[in-house]
Structure 1
Amino acid sequence: MGANGHVLPEKSSQNHLISGATDGREGEGETNERKVRLNGNIARRRPGKEMIEYWDKDLPGFGLRVHPSGRRTWFVMFRQRRKQRRVSLGTSRQITAREARRLARDKLIEVALDGLPTRKTDRSGSKQAPLMRDYAERFWADYARHWKPSTQRGNCGSIKRHILPAFGNRRVNEITKADVLFWRDGFAERTGTFNRTIPILSVMMTYAEKLGLRPRGSNPCRGTPRYKRKRMERFLSAREYGQLASALIDFEVENPLVVAAIRLLIYTGARCGEIEKLRWEWVQEPRLMLPDSKTGAKIIYLNRQAVSVIAMIPDRTASGLLFPSTRDPDKPTKLSMYWPDIRNRAALPDVRLHDLRHSFASTAIRDNISLMVIGKLLGHALAETTSRYAHLSDEVVADAAERVSGSIARLVGVGR
């Protein structure tokens, strides 16, 4: 028993924990409960028609919940400060039974020691680690300067809105993988937000290791899976390109600079921000020499059509923006303000500006240009980024194989 009355659960408390879990459940229906030795074999059992909870007979409070859908979640249940809590440890796909048992045991020990006097040093011998909310200020002062301004704004918001509310009152060296997995479960309806935030927390934990605030190699984010999301891939067909061309001709009367910018997106496959912020001093035909981009310095190669678009822009100067805002010539035009009107005129309401970049890659693949060359045209820093278009290449190869086999069939008389 700890100083504040917390007790590390023993085998005799198993029934109490199980009954507490069942009584506290709302709206989940009746659940079957079984005592077993939790291991990989149990985790591979077929799910039933009802939710089943397996409780470990050796480690009280450690359990596995099996949903009829097949989802299997490890958890640990305990009492802390007179309240019963259930902490998710991750799914059977994320962590093994052995790792889940270790996480559950660590959590139960942590609860049992809650309130007891602690030493002022952690295992690494460093001074007592600060609270996350205090450490965040030190981290930001040291690290944020290495990010671009737009990245700083996004990461600052993620730290304030998602990381500090969850971990702000925890000490930097106390955050465990179980805590991170439990935090992850709270983003089930905001999977994209979690996928963008977990790398920031991981960087914070790694930097804490370098400062001696956590033991080396203890980053609790390591191995935490991101949510799988369906990639939004939209490629324009030949007919849709025609629709868009007609809409641009129609809109050109109202705003020729916006139309010129969008045509550059179509012909170069550049990112929207790269064209919006394009400056005359970077135009060195037949190239655009960008000093900075999402992946660093970048060369955008201009084809004949892109060169023609730039040549038609009036009032060319030695420096300054190609597409300045009508309200403030020192600020770039925001194409996203005009795109909804243009795509509606083209009867393409589901097409995003970024889909013009995807369509550029799709067309290049249909023209038998290799993925390596496409990656250079798009300015991808990693080959893995270009590989998302590999399935389009497969379709081109399959079509070629079909044409070749058809020709051979005609030659041998099968097609007669």
Structure 2
Amino acid sequence: MTLFELYERHINPGLAGLLRFTGLDKVESHAEGVYVWDTEGKRYLDFLGLYGTLSLGHRHPRVVAAVKAQLERMPMSVRVLISEPTTRLAARLAELAPRGLSMVYFGNSGAEGVEAALKFARFYTGKPGFITTEGGYHGKTLGALSVTPREPYQQPARPLLPGVTVVPFGDAKAIEEAIGPDTAAVIVEPIQGEGGIRVPPEGYLREVRRITQEKGVLLIADEVQTGLGRTGRFWAVDWEGVEPDILVSAKALGGGVMPISATLCRPEILSIYKSEPLIHSSTFGGNPLAAAAALVALQVIEEENLPQRALEQGQYLLAGLAQVQRAYPEFIQEVRGRGLMVGLEFSDADIGAVVVAELASRGVLTAFGLNNPKVVRLEPPLIVEKSHIDQALEALSEALKATQLAFEGVL
């Protein structure tokens, strides 16, 4: 039995079928920088970047070295003594965070970070309700799923958290009208990722911040995918100078080597720790290996000015994609994004799926949005060069030409 067949039998048969359809029924072998190789020796240009995780590329040498060094010292904390890398990471994040976010809780994933944010909001306000947005994606654990309004994911897990109100994304007035006496917090992505790389109208976040402050409601910024330079600013909320009450970071925080999340809060929100220090905790959250990776990842992001690089390379990518769109207007409805967080919305999800498969056959990895399968997202490492972008654009043009032939007489 092949390794892929073992995966299909023992892990996820449905995903295995999807991978087979897209021509990705392969086994990954190794990776470096912007490239991945399978066990058959084929090289792929990674324009998915583990859904925005690999901002520094695969196996960044400084991050790998930091993890190796920490592994030789102490890979896991005993938890009854203080971990040096974990503590130094918390202090550094507090320095880099929007003003006022000086307390940090560490988890292992974006969903864990969101779970913590929801609990902290309830602890602090004593209220149960949350407002989230259509198309928003905050994770698939039970609490995070409750504020991720996608019916196919939610329905089999019901009942979810009560008191969640869903409003249109980009509509600050709808948030204002939805806030009630039981609302603890509003949770929002500065740019929706899985919702299809949706950029809200200018001023939206500022208005949401004003409304939540006036109403005495917390604002949770989910920067799991948008943070750490991805959109051309260190945090995506920086585009509008917004200072949330809670900010969730993950994905790229581990430097593409270790999983870690950080839930950053104003100190008063975590005042409950003074009387109940173990009310929310994680055995592996912020472990020394992950913290060592994150510390160096933050250094690399700053020293190599990756936010500015994301902005410049993103403008180049968007300009190239606009040219491709003009050549295939019947397929591509819209090109949008900010920095190196870019989406192509196709006229039909099936067309997008075929394009993903055709790109894979040409050695370029992409994927569609989990909350919007009509959108193929492009989130390459922030170290990507223009030559890599040119390679991806050429592959996309060829993929669209092949898709056009496949759908000839159908559309």
Q: TM-score, normalised by structure 2?
A: 0.23
Between Structure 1 and Structure 2, the one with more strand by share is: 2
Between Structure 1 and Structure 2, the one with more helix by share is: 1
Q: TM-score, normalised by structure 1?
A: 0.22
Higher relative contact order structure (alpha carbons within 8 Å, sequence separation ≥ 6): 2
Q: Rg: which structure is higher?
A: 1
